[in-house]
Structure 1
Amino acid sequence: MAQPSALVHFSGHQHLRNRLVLSILSGKHVRIDKIRSEDKNPGLRDYEISLLRLLEKVTNGTVIEISVTGTTILLKPGIVSGGTLQHDCTLSRGIGYFLEPVIMLAPFAKKPLNITLKGITTEEHDLSADILRTVTLPHLQLFGVSEGLELRIKRRGAAPGGGGEVQFLCPIVKQVKTLNFVEPGKVKRIRGVAHAVRVNPQFSNRMIEASRSILNRYIPDIYLYSDVYKGDESGKSPGYALTLLAETTTSAIYCSEAIAEPGVAPEDIGLKATRALLTEVEKGGCVDQKHQTFILLMMVLGSEDVGRCRMGEPTPKTIQFLRDVREFFATSFKIVSADLSDPDCFQLLYSCYGTGYINANRTLA
């Protein structure tokens, strides 16, 4: 039986992924109840159950108990095992929903992870495969996880039919490095990927031209790439999207994305992504809003030293994540204004003392 002190208790379906990841990394049992208990259709959704099945595959010895109504789950974490795996994601959420927690766990596995996920590669609610490849993985490299780290997009799959496929390769580490990232720098280049599947290939060029009409006013180093997939590689449904990222002189990365909507011209999708990118750049910091929780988690797991990172204002998801980290790891962050002399500065300096998390699962070569 778990000791009462080793059981962490939450209510509601929000922040489910982060809480499951924290449970597995900390080794503490977690109980989550009242999952949509007031809803007409109570309990876990199909994508949440699929995520639980995926975590069972990635780990060894994990026990997940789901109540009859599906409104309560109890997770007793095992060890992160890694290895070669495959998982078919449900089509109600994008692959990013499933891959984000896996990326957080993978460096602490027993063996290097090689996982193939099938489903929707680009979806409005979750990070797309492009953002995970071009932004999330470089952020992981900041913590010393680099050699052999790769995300391959084998096939693209738009909603609702999916048909996409990505392969994620991740090495294991003994310990992640302490982060000290406080200089955002100036934007030096902008990169982007426009893709169109099962629609006119010109759509991607039209998105690129619309985006360039704004971006060309700022800096000359802009390269927007048109990614064309044909036949089986283009999935089962038509769709198109534009993913943009801006990189600064200190390797800070800001990203944005816009996805095809019914009745909206490709030009408007291109402009939407571009304006979202400029909004992210304006907020500043060294990490964009989409990756705040990811960076904060890695800072907590860093070596026993003070890690520091400059970011914009925390999102509601980030605020809850900071509370959850305190529950699982008893680690609190010190958060102060990044520039005390400027009352209009909205950027904050996050610092914490790393827990010195050691990957005890890994097999020594």
Structure 2
Amino acid sequence: MTKTPVTNGTVIEISVTGTALLLKPGIISGGPITHDCPLSRSVGYFLEPLVLLAPFSKKPFQITLKGITTDDQDLSVDLFRTVTLPHLQPFGISDGLELRIKKRGAPPAGGGEVQFLCPVVKQVKTLNFVEPGKIKRIRGIAHAVRVSPQFSNRMIEASRSILNRYIPDIYLYSDVYKGEESGKSPGYALSLLAESTTSVLYCAEAVSQPGVAPEDIALQATRALLAEIEKGGCVDRQHQTLVLLMMVLSSEDVGRCRMGEPTPRTIQFLRDVRSFFGTSFKITPADPLDKESSQLLYSCYGTGYINANRTLA
């Protein structure tokens, strides 16, 4: 793959004092791209904005990112593949949407590699997602690189010791990489997701830390998942901004989505949306009669954004 920029014609100017930044966005070109991510952040940090840009590019995305695939700051590539990408399907972005994990890379040295493939769309569909449903199954991936393969089994057993009390349909997959595919540093992590009867996805994960046993990492991830399920809604806290932006860019109709309370990041995002698009969300209690419920109904009128740059090849 050739090394080309994600956009064509973008200009970034930083003031002399370093306190102001002027950005003139260019055309999202897409196509085959390769990028070596710095080891200060994981691949997930870079995938997050790319997921938002890729559907509106000129050509379908084929981007390869190299670096750390799982850390304690950003979403891991496992959750991007199993949770983030499915959130795009209700908006009509599905065919050809894929994230391939070729190599895993734990901090600090990394060495991982993933390939993100995304199709081009003309316009995204309007979302109407207000029924959270009941949890029907829980899935998970316990991966271990450059450590004993038993670490992943220990995490699975510890997580099951809690999850088995709530639901019978549980499948936790042990994913052990060896050789060059295991990156340059030892590490392990557990990524969990719960799916409801209405295709709502909740996710949580925990990453290895020095001096912390695999069992404790698994319990941390499991309790985080149960806390996410308790907050309810149709979108978990990790993906609020993704869904809200797609609602703003959707066709000219009223989109609705049920979520939990907005995170501080989501609140700032809503302010930015109002500044950039002039769109404000109407936020009302999802269950007005239930005083204990913290779930909210987010609704907005789509801008009807059309991807005029796409090429049909």
Whole-Å Cα distance in 2 between the matches of residues 135 and 202 of structure 1?
26
User: Is 1:79 the counterpart of 2:31 in the alignment?
Assistant: no
Whole-Å Cα distance in 1 between the matches of residues 19 and 176 of structure 2?
43
Match of 1:241 in 2: 189
User: Is 1:132 the counterpart of 2:80 in the alignment?
Assistant: yes
Instruction: Identify which of 210, 230, 245 aligns with 1:297.
Output: 245
| TM-score (normalised: structure 2) | 0.98
One-letter amino acid of the structure 1 residue matched with residue 290 of structure 2 = D
CA RMSD of aligned residues (A): 1.1
Whole-Å Cα distance in 1 between the matches of residues 53 and 147 of structure 2?
36
Instruction: Identify which of 308, 325, 328 aligns with 2:256.
Output: 308
Aligned ranges 1:156-235 → 2 under 5 Å: 156-235=104-183
Secondary structure of 1:142's counterpart equals: helix
User: Is 1:320 the counterpart of 2:256 in the alignment?
Assistant: no
Q: CA deviation at 1:70?
A: 4.6
Whole-Å Cα distance in 1 between the matches of residues 212 and 118 of structure 2?
38
Cα distance per residue 1:68-113 (max 9 Å; x no partner): 5654322100111100000000000010001110010000000000
Structure 1 residues 70 and 164: CA distance shift in structure 2, 3 A: farther
Instruction: Identify which of 92, 96, 107 aligns with 1:148.
Output: 96
Match of 2:212 in 1: 264
Whole-Å Cα distance in 2 between the matches of residues 135 and 69 of structure 1?
41
Match of 1:110 in 2: 58
Q: CA deviation at 1:66?
A: 2.9
One-letter amino acid of the structure 2 residue matched with residue 125 of structure 1 = Q
Q: CA deviation at 1:65?
A: 1.7
Instruction: Identify which of 88, 91, 95 aligns with 2:43.
Output: 95
Whole-Å Cα distance in 2 between the matches of residues 104 and 158 of structure 1?
25
Match of 2:203 in 1: 255
Whole-Å Cα distance in 2 between the matches of residues 96 and 71 of structure 1?
27
Secondary structure of 2:251's counterpart equals: coil
Q: Percent identity?
A: 80
Whole-Å Cα distance in 1 between the matches of residues 301 and 129 of structure 2?
15
One-letter amino acid of the structure 2 residue matched with residue 224 of structure 1 = L
Q: CA deviation at 1:211?
A: 0.1
Whole-Å Cα distance in 2 between the matches of residues 326 and 131 of structure 1?
29
Match of 1:286 in 2: 234
Structure 1 residues 240 and 283: CA distance shift in structure 2, 3 A: same
One-letter amino acid of the structure 1 residue matched with residue 219 of structure 2 = L
User: Is 1:343 the counterpart of 2:291 in the alignment?
Assistant: yes
Match of 1:48 in 2: none
Cα distance per residue 1:162-215 (max 9 Å; x no partner): 000000000000000000000000000000000000111100000000000000
Number of aligned pairs? 311
Q: CA deviation at 1:67?
A: 4.0
Whole-Å Cα distance in 1 between the matches of residues 194 and 108 of structure 2?
29
Whole-Å Cα distance in 2 between the matches of residues 199 and 364 of structure 1?
46
One-letter amino acid of the structure 2 residue matched with residue 363 of structure 1 = T
Whole-Å Cα distance in 1 between the matches of residues 236 and 274 of structure 2?
22
| TM-score (normalised: structure 1) | 0.84
Structure 1 residues 146 and 163: CA distance shift in structure 2, 3 A: same
Structure 1 residues 70 and 156: CA distance shift in structure 2, 3 A: farther
One-letter amino acid of the structure 1 residue matched with residue 86 of structure 2 = P
Q: CA deviation at 1:57?
A: 1.2
One-letter amino acid of the structure 1 residue matched with residue 51 of structure 2 = I
Match of 1:39 in 2: none
One-letter amino acid of the structure 2 residue matched with residue 80 of structure 1 = I
Q: CA deviation at 1:345?
A: 1.0
